[in-house]
Chains A and B, each alone.
Chain A
Amino acid sequence: EAQVTQNPRYLITVTGKKLTVTCSQNMNHEYMSWYRQDPGLGLRQIYYSMNVEVTDKGDVPEGYKVSRKEKRNFPLILESPSPNQTSLYFCASSLAGALPRELFFGEGSRLTVL
């Protein structure tokens, strides 16, 4: 089954404790991206990657890092989480290339930073 898998789905952590949210897709997609969703602010893009070893900042990249060493994985790293990073996070993937393709989203990871 084609899917985007995020882990963990729920996490409560404390300020300053490094954490990684993993994202994996099994569709051989070139494009992957991360979003955060907060009440009243909608979906905002954090980082995206057009292919392996190619990453770019989205609209709200501060406090986050990403890496794209393999095509299927695109982890989101919070080196020193702060309470303002408490949010619902979504990973998405799609084919890239000359024509835009539909995005496939994961089920989300709810992060609470105390």
Chain B
Amino acid sequence: DAKTTQPNSMESNEEEPVHLPCNHSTISGTDYIHWYRQLPSQGPEYVIHGLTSNVNNRMASLAIAEDRKSSTLILHRATLRDAAVYYCILRANYGGSQGNLIFGKGTKLSVKP
């Protein structure tokens, strides 16, 4: 199964942009890139996902490399509430392989006031 590699931790200052990297060198052509985050004492929550093109939503932006072997989650202005563990996962777009998801350890983002 395709896996992702993320830094264990990152720090940011409040109101500054944050770029969270993810490497997925074994990604297949039909894998979507998903990002989730887990706030303290909560279940993970969806942030954003994409296939090839960059994506924007109200929470974040997702920049996907042209060869799709890496991606970056961008928080445009970090707030204290963005302190969380961020997970980058790959999800196949068909059949049973949609089901087996590998989350890993994610990146713990700390935000300083």
Contacts and interface: CB of A to CB of B under 8 A. Distances in A.
Interface stretch (A69-77, A79-87, A94-102): A94-102
A90 B43 contact: yes
A89 B43 CA distance: 9
B99 A56 contact: yes
Given A56-B96, A100-B49, A42 B44 contact: no
Contacts of A4: 43
A104 interface: yes
B49 A42 contact: no
B46 A48 contact: no
A100 B103 contact: no
A48 B76 CA distance: 34
Contacts of B91: 100
Interface in B27-83: 32, 34, 36, 42-46, 49
B106 to A, nearest CB: 6
Given A100-B32, A100-B93, A104-B46, A48 B105 contact: no
Contacts, number: 70
Nearest to B95: A50
Contacts of A44: 103
A52 to B, nearest CB: 14
B99 A50 contact: yes
B100 interface: yes
B103 A45 contact: yes
Given A100-B49, A104-B46, A43 B103 contact: yes
Contacts of A41: 105
A43 B45 contact: no
B105 A108 contact: no
B36 A45 contact: no
B7 interface: no
Contacts of A90: 43-44
Interface of A: 4, 31, 33, 35, 40-45, 48-50, 56, 58-59, 90, 92, 96, 98-100, 102-108
11 contacts: A42-B104, A43-B44, A45-B101, A48-B99, A96-B98, A99-B32, A102-B46, A103-B101, A104-B46, A105-B43, A108-B42
